[in-house]
Structure 1
Amino acid sequence: MLPMTKPNLKKLEVLAKELGYTVRYEKGNFQSGYCLVESRRVAIINRFFDTEGRINVLFDILSQFRPDETTLELSEPSAKLWKKLKPFLGIEAAEPNEAAAEEE
Protein backbone atom coordinates (compact mmCIF):
# COMPACT_ATOMS: atom_id res chain seq x y z
CA MET A 1 0.00 0.00 0.00
CA LEU A 2 1.05 3.61 -0.37
CA PRO A 3 2.36 5.62 2.57
CA MET A 4 -0.01 8.48 3.44
CA THR A 5 2.21 11.36 2.28
CA LYS A 6 1.60 14.54 0.28
CA PRO A 7 3.76 13.37 -2.66
CA ASN A 8 1.66 10.20 -2.89
CA LEU A 9 -1.50 12.30 -2.73
CA LYS A 10 -0.22 14.27 -5.73
CA LYS A 11 0.49 11.01 -7.59
CA LEU A 12 -3.07 9.84 -6.91
CA GLU A 13 -4.47 13.17 -8.10
CA VAL A 14 -2.51 12.85 -11.36
CA LEU A 15 -3.69 9.25 -11.79
CA ALA A 16 -7.32 10.27 -11.19
CA LYS A 17 -6.98 13.05 -13.74
CA GLU A 18 -5.53 10.64 -16.32
CA LEU A 19 -8.42 8.26 -15.63
CA GLY A 20 -10.84 11.05 -16.52
CA TYR A 21 -11.71 12.50 -13.12
CA THR A 22 -11.71 16.15 -12.15
CA VAL A 23 -10.53 16.38 -8.54
CA ARG A 24 -11.89 19.35 -6.60
CA TYR A 25 -11.38 20.35 -2.99
CA GLU A 26 -14.38 22.18 -1.56
CA LYS A 27 -15.22 23.34 1.93
CA GLY A 28 -18.43 22.47 3.66
CA ASN A 29 -20.12 20.01 5.93
CA PHE A 30 -20.36 17.00 3.62
CA GLN A 31 -18.93 13.57 3.02
CA SER A 32 -16.51 13.37 0.12
CA GLY A 33 -17.20 11.34 -2.95
CA TYR A 34 -17.68 11.58 -6.65
CA CYS A 35 -20.53 12.39 -8.95
CA LEU A 36 -21.35 12.61 -12.62
CA VAL A 37 -21.97 16.15 -13.81
CA GLU A 38 -23.09 16.28 -17.42
CA SER A 39 -21.37 12.91 -18.09
CA ARG A 40 -18.10 14.06 -16.52
CA ARG A 41 -16.52 12.38 -13.51
CA VAL A 42 -16.00 14.85 -10.69
CA ALA A 43 -14.37 13.86 -7.41
CA ILE A 44 -15.25 16.35 -4.69
CA ILE A 45 -13.15 16.07 -1.56
CA ASN A 46 -13.67 18.01 1.64
CA ARG A 47 -10.81 20.48 1.84
CA PHE A 48 -10.73 20.15 5.62
CA PHE A 49 -9.63 16.50 5.37
CA ASP A 50 -6.01 15.77 6.23
CA THR A 51 -3.67 14.03 3.78
CA GLU A 52 -4.66 10.56 4.97
CA GLY A 53 -8.37 11.36 4.62
CA ARG A 54 -7.87 12.73 1.10
CA ILE A 55 -5.91 9.64 0.04
CA ASN A 56 -8.58 7.33 1.49
CA VAL A 57 -11.31 9.18 -0.42
CA LEU A 58 -9.33 8.89 -3.67
CA PHE A 59 -8.84 5.15 -2.97
CA ASP A 60 -12.61 4.77 -2.52
CA ILE A 61 -13.32 6.61 -5.74
CA LEU A 62 -10.71 4.74 -7.76
CA SER A 63 -11.88 1.37 -6.39
CA GLN A 64 -15.24 1.95 -8.13
CA PHE A 65 -13.59 2.72 -11.46
CA ARG A 66 -13.41 -0.18 -13.94
CA PRO A 67 -11.51 1.02 -17.01
CA ASP A 68 -11.22 -0.73 -20.33
CA GLU A 69 -7.58 -1.80 -19.98
CA THR A 70 -7.11 -2.05 -23.75
CA THR A 71 -7.87 1.64 -24.32
CA LEU A 72 -6.37 2.96 -21.09
CA GLU A 73 -3.69 5.55 -21.85
CA LEU A 74 -1.64 6.50 -18.82
CA SER A 75 1.74 8.12 -18.42
CA GLU A 76 4.51 5.77 -17.31
CA PRO A 77 4.46 6.83 -13.62
CA SER A 78 0.66 6.63 -13.47
CA ALA A 79 0.64 3.24 -15.21
CA LYS A 80 3.07 1.87 -12.61
CA LEU A 81 1.00 3.33 -9.78
CA TRP A 82 -2.25 1.94 -11.25
CA LYS A 83 -0.71 -1.53 -11.59
CA LYS A 84 0.53 -1.34 -7.99
CA LEU A 85 -2.84 -0.19 -6.63
CA LYS A 86 -5.16 -2.55 -8.53
CA PRO A 87 -4.90 -5.42 -5.99
CA PHE A 88 -5.66 -3.02 -3.10
CA LEU A 89 -8.59 -1.50 -4.98
CA GLY A 90 -10.13 -4.91 -5.67
CA ILE A 91 -9.46 -4.80 -9.40
CA GLU A 92 -8.18 -8.00 -10.98
CA ALA A 93 -4.65 -7.55 -12.23
CA ALA A 94 -4.48 -9.70 -15.35
CA GLU A 95 -1.33 -9.45 -17.39
CA PRO A 96 -1.77 -8.58 -21.08
CA ASN A 97 -0.48 -12.03 -22.15
CA GLU A 98 -3.01 -13.75 -19.88
CA ALA A 99 -5.87 -11.66 -21.28
CA ALA A 100 -4.88 -12.55 -24.85
CA ALA A 101 -4.69 -16.25 -23.93
CA GLU A 102 -8.20 -16.13 -22.44
CA GLU A 103 -9.64 -14.66 -25.65
CA GLU A 104 -8.40 -17.61 -27.77
Structure 2
Amino acid sequence: MSMKYTQTTLDKVEKIAEEMGYIVRYERGSFQSGFCILEEKKVVVLNKFLQLEGRINTMIDLLPQLKIDADALTPDSRKWYDDIMGKFHSSKDEENSDSSPA
Protein backbone atom coordinates (compact mmCIF):
# COMPACT_ATOMS: atom_id res chain seq x y z
CA MET A 1 0.00 0.00 0.00
CA SER A 2 1.48 3.34 -0.99
CA MET A 3 0.97 6.24 1.37
CA LYS A 4 -1.13 9.05 -0.06
CA TYR A 5 -1.27 12.33 1.80
CA THR A 6 -5.04 12.76 2.01
CA GLN A 7 -7.46 13.48 4.82
CA THR A 8 -8.63 9.86 4.53
CA THR A 9 -5.08 8.64 5.23
CA LEU A 10 -4.82 10.90 8.26
CA ASP A 11 -8.21 9.66 9.51
CA LYS A 12 -7.12 6.02 9.19
CA VAL A 13 -3.81 6.60 10.99
CA GLU A 14 -5.55 8.55 13.78
CA LYS A 15 -8.13 5.75 14.07
CA ILE A 16 -5.38 3.27 14.99
CA ALA A 17 -4.47 5.38 18.04
CA GLU A 18 -8.12 6.03 18.87
CA GLU A 19 -8.95 2.30 18.81
CA MET A 20 -6.33 1.85 21.54
CA GLY A 21 -8.06 4.47 23.67
CA TYR A 22 -5.89 7.45 22.75
CA ILE A 23 -7.45 10.85 22.16
CA VAL A 24 -5.80 12.75 19.31
CA ARG A 25 -5.92 16.53 19.69
CA TYR A 26 -4.43 19.44 17.78
CA GLU A 27 -3.20 22.34 19.89
CA ARG A 28 -0.80 25.26 19.78
CA GLY A 29 2.42 24.87 21.66
CA SER A 30 6.18 24.65 21.46
CA PHE A 31 6.51 21.05 20.32
CA GLN A 32 9.99 19.90 19.44
CA SER A 33 8.85 17.01 17.28
CA GLY A 34 5.33 18.11 16.43
CA PHE A 35 3.67 16.09 19.18
CA CYS A 36 3.65 15.15 22.84
CA ILE A 37 2.15 12.13 24.58
CA LEU A 38 0.34 12.39 27.89
CA GLU A 39 0.65 8.67 28.60
CA GLU A 40 -1.33 8.59 31.84
CA LYS A 41 -4.35 10.10 30.08
CA LYS A 42 -3.72 8.42 26.70
CA VAL A 43 -3.78 11.77 24.94
CA VAL A 44 -1.70 12.57 21.87
CA VAL A 45 -1.31 16.28 21.21
CA LEU A 46 -0.08 17.33 17.79
CA ASN A 47 0.96 20.78 16.67
CA LYS A 48 -2.13 22.32 15.07
CA PHE A 49 0.00 24.30 12.63
CA LEU A 50 1.27 21.16 10.88
CA GLN A 51 0.03 20.78 7.32
CA LEU A 52 -1.73 17.54 6.27
CA GLU A 53 1.48 15.80 5.17
CA GLY A 54 3.19 16.79 8.43
CA ARG A 55 0.25 15.51 10.48
CA ILE A 56 0.33 12.13 8.70
CA ASN A 57 4.12 11.79 8.99
CA THR A 58 4.03 12.80 12.66
CA MET A 59 1.31 10.23 13.44
CA ILE A 60 3.27 7.54 11.59
CA ASP A 61 6.45 8.43 13.51
CA LEU A 62 4.45 8.38 16.72
CA LEU A 63 2.70 4.98 16.38
CA PRO A 64 5.74 2.87 17.42
CA GLN A 65 5.87 4.85 20.68
CA LEU A 66 2.25 4.15 21.62
CA LYS A 67 1.05 1.04 23.40
CA ILE A 68 -0.72 -0.63 20.48
CA ASP A 69 -2.22 -4.12 20.75
CA ALA A 70 -2.41 -4.99 17.07
CA ASP A 71 -4.69 -7.97 17.77
CA ALA A 72 -7.32 -5.63 19.24
CA LEU A 73 -7.50 -3.43 16.15
CA THR A 74 -10.28 -3.68 13.58
CA PRO A 75 -9.19 -5.55 10.41
CA ASP A 76 -8.87 -2.31 8.41
CA SER A 77 -6.82 -0.59 11.12
CA ARG A 78 -4.68 -3.73 11.56
CA LYS A 79 -3.86 -3.69 7.84
CA TRP A 80 -2.82 -0.04 8.03
CA TYR A 81 -0.87 -0.61 11.25
CA ASP A 82 1.00 -3.62 9.84
CA ASP A 83 1.87 -1.65 6.70
CA ILE A 84 3.07 1.37 8.68
CA MET A 85 5.11 -0.76 11.09
CA GLY A 86 6.61 -2.69 8.17
CA LYS A 87 7.77 0.57 6.62
CA PHE A 88 9.00 1.81 10.02
CA HIS A 89 11.07 -1.32 10.66
CA SER A 90 12.52 -1.41 7.14
CA SER A 91 13.56 2.26 7.41
CA LYS A 92 15.16 1.57 10.81
CA ASP A 93 17.01 -1.43 9.33
CA GLU A 94 18.34 0.81 6.53
CA GLU A 95 19.50 3.41 9.09
CA ASN A 96 21.26 0.72 11.12
CA SER A 97 22.99 -0.79 8.08
CA ASP A 98 24.11 2.69 6.95
CA SER A 99 25.75 3.35 10.32
CA SER A 100 27.39 -0.07 10.77
CA PRO A 101 31.17 -0.19 10.30
CA ALA A 102 32.42 -1.52 6.96
1:34 partnered with 2:36: yes
Q: Distance in 2 between matches of 1:64 and 1:58?
A: 10
Q: Distance in 1 between matches of 2:30 and 2:83?
A: 33
Q: How does 1:35-74 map onto structure 2 within 5 Å?
A: 35-37=37-39, 39-65=40-66, 67-69=68-70, 72-74=71-73
Q: Secondary structure at the match of 1:45?
A: strand
Q: Secondary structure at the match of 2:42?
A: strand
Q: Distance in 1 between matches of 2:31 and 2:6?
A: 23
Give the C-alpha shift of residue 54 in structure 1.
0.4
Q: Deviations over 1:2-55 (max 9, x none)?
A: 111111001111111112321000123433223235x22221111111001101
Contact 1:30 1:46 in 2 (8 A): yes
Tell me the residue number matched to 1:75: 74
Q: Distance in 1 between matches of 2:52 and 2:64?
A: 18
Give me the TM-score of the superposition, normalised by structure 2.
0.71
Tell me the residue number matched to 1:3: 4
Aligned residues: 88
Give me the TM-score of the superposition, normalised by structure 1.
0.70
Q: What CA RMSD, in Å, does the superposition of the two structures yield over aligned residues? A: 2.1
Residue 41 of structure 2 aligns with an amino acid whose one-letter code is R
